């Protein structure tokens, strides 16, 4: 594993080389919201539209063949990227949210009875809360929640205690977007499986930052988005174990998801197409494939090591600013630094940082229960990607000192 040549890698991201707010160099630290795109991804999408654009799977002409090959090639890249055993287990979706909704409606809904339980945790993103609340309303199932401690770690005893006879699914975030907590998902999956409970993992914040392997995790479903992995928006992935996907009814009906249609009887297509009704986001899939090739070439182990070191630097830097309190100090963390500034609302922090060219996220991060758990209305959040540097962190810390000056 070679260390990252970040200076060179930054050249791959055209958007980073600009000034904002009247001449400040852009310092982009909002990567948990979305990452920037390398030229390889932008070029792949442009090439597709300039050269290969056609509908897939049914054209006899050359463009359709090329488009199909590129789209299915991307699916194979995803399969290898996450260590799935077959491309049949890779369903393209609009994103993590749609993937979770698919599992809720197609896997869980036919299986749960009134009084059955779906287990989630306090640190879930709204996208892993609301689909389950909707399911509970539809079925009479009960949503149960694993609490977190003051550091932002799951309370493991409580998790074990809540995995009961009526638990039909555990839906858990792999890496928390609001806290950066990396959950011990392999151990949790093993525990849930001992009790016969299937597991869905929300990997939106995980896949760009460390190696993720389905054979290693053993989970039943895994969801992630392309745009947090240096790929385009509007494309995401649901991985599902093929025997589960086989048994699930289609979620949406339409073209491409059928084998044959008559008014008497429609036969559904095989996996993965059964779950991909309508013309998909072909360019998005191809862009995601290019993003995965980019990340593979850089090396996820090198990215993980680099970001861990930078997280440590950022944590020390941000904590050194008087009045700053970190929210989320879990034992294992990914590149997220969430914090509050004493006496200053997160939105004011965000506006002042923005004037210094530093882009962060402020608010509840679509994780209101986390905010409630820590007794804050909102946090400011800096989140890292492979192209961030110590200079970026220094700019963040300097801008935070300006916040103190303005609000002195």
Binding site for another protein (CB under 8 A): 21-24, 344-348, 351-352, 355, 362-364, 368, 371, 377-378, 402, 406-407
Q: Which CB sits closer to another protein, 66 or 402?
A: 402
CA distance 406 to 123: 32
* Closest approach of another protein to the CB of residue 22, in Å: 3
Q: CA-based angle 309:369:159, to the nearest 5? A: 75
Q: The tokens 């990215």 sit on which residue?
A: 303
Q: Which CB sits closer to another protein, 98 or 356?
A: 356
Q: Which CB sits closer to another protein, 237 or 378?
A: 378
* Closest approach of another protein to the CB of residue 311, in Å: 26
Q: Which CB sits closer to another protein, 160 or 376?
A: 376
Q: Which residues contact 355 (CB under 8 A, 6 or more apart)?
A: 21, 24
* Closest approach of another protein to the CB of residue 363, in Å: 5
Q: Which CB sits closer to another protein, 295 or 353?
A: 353
* Closest approach of another protein to the CB of residue 345, in Å: 3
CB-CB contact of 179 with 152 (8 Å): yes
CB-CB contact of 313 with 295 (8 Å): no
Q: Which CB sits closer to another protein, 11 or 348?
A: 348
- From the candidates 145, 326, 366, 404, which is the catalytic residue? 366
* Closest approach of another protein to the CB of residue 408, in Å: 9
* Closest approach of another protein to the CB of residue 202, in Å: 22
136 annotated active-site: no
Residues recognised as catalytic: 366
């Amino acid at each position: 594993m070679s260390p990252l040549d970040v200076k060179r890698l930054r050249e791959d991201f055209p958007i980073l080389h600009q000034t904002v707010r009247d001449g400040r160099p852009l310092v982009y630290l909002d990567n948990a919201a979305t990452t920037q795109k390398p030229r390889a991804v932008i070029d792949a999408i442009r090439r597709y539209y300039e050269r290969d654009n056609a509908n897939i799977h049914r054209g006899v002409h050359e463009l359709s063949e090329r488009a199909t090959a590129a789209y299915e090639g991307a699916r194979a890249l995803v399969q290898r990227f996450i260590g799935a055993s077959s491309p049949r287990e890779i369903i393209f979706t609009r994103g993590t949210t749609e993937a979770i909704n698919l599992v809720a409606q197609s896997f869980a809904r036919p299986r749960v009875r009134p009084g059955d339980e779906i287990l989630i945790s306090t640190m879930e993103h709204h996208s892993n809360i609301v689909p389950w609340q909707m399911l509970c309303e539809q079925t009479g199932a009960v949503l149960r929640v694993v609490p977190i401690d003051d550091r932002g770690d799951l309370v493991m005893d409580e998790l074990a205690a809540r995995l009961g006879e009526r638990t039909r699914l555990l839906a858990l975030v792999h890496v928390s977007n609001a806290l950066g907590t990396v959950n011990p998902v392999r151990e949790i999956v093993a525990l849930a499986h001992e009790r016969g409970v299937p597991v869905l993992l929300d990997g939106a914040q995980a896949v760009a930052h460390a190696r993720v392997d389905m054979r290693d995790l053993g989970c039943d479903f895994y969801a992630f988005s392309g745009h947090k992995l240096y790929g385009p928006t509007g494309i995401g992935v649901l991985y599902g174990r093929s025997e589960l996907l086989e048994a699930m009814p289609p979620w949406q009906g339409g073209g491409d998801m059928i084998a044959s249609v008559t008014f008497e009887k429609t036969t559904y297509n095989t996996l993965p197409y059964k779950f991909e009704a309508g013309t998909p986001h072909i360019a998005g899939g191809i862009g995601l494939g290019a993003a995965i090739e980019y990340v593979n070439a850089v090396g996820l182990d090198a990215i993980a090591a680099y970001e861990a070191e930078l997280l440590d630097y950022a944590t020390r830097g941000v904590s050194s600013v008087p009045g700053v309190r970190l929210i989320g100090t879990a034992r294992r963390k990914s590149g997220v630094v969430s914090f509050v500034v004493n006496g200053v609302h997160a939105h004011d922090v965000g506006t002042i940082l923005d004037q210094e060219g530093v882009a962060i996220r402020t608010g509840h991060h679509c994780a209101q229960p986390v905010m409630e758990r820590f007794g804050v209305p909102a946090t400011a959040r800096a989140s890292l990607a492979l192209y961030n540097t110590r200079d970026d962190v220094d700019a963040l810390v300097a801008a935070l000192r300006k916040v103190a000056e303005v609000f002195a």
